[in-house]
Amino acid sequence: MNPKHISVFVVISSFLFLSACLSSISKETSGTVVGGIVGGMLGSKMGKGKGRDAAIIGSTLVGSLIGKTIGSYMDRMDRMDKAQIVNAIAVVPTGQSHSWQNPNTHFVSDVRPVSNFYPVNNGGYCRNFQTKVIIDGRPETLTGTACQQSSGMWRIE
């Protein structure tokens, strides 16, 4: 098999495999992995012999570092957005909305609690909410439930 075809096969297989598992891991981790793969592929196009091996190793490390940095930033932005949702659910009266825009990502969200708090079996409380988001350029209304555990931590379902 042609080495070029092997490289293409490895990249496609890697992305298919990663797409199946990336939803459950942090963006920092997935950025590290994807950055390393892309960096390694770019490095494989440079030099010959030992020089090529060094280029692959170096490019993999640099790609991983760049991917990790970007992924870490994205994780911080997600935590910031989630904190806004939890804050709105905790303090906004039922039926009223709380809107905000993330100053870094320009992500805009509108959260509206649609029920009062109700107790659950684990000693915590839950509240139903709606949020408006833009998906594929169209506004969508999503519903969810936020539960404050007895430990004080929030879980959004």
Per-domain residue ranges of the chain? 61-156
pLDDT tens for each residue of 105-151: 676 778 899 999 999 887 788 899 988 876 667 788 888 888 888 78
pTM for this entry: 0.52
pLDDT tens for each residue of 47-58: 777 777 788 888
Q: What is the DSSP string of 93-149?
A: PTT--EEEE-TTT--EEEEEE-S--EE-TTS-EEEEEEEEEEETTEEEEEEEEEEE-
Mean pLDDT over 22-37 rounds to 74
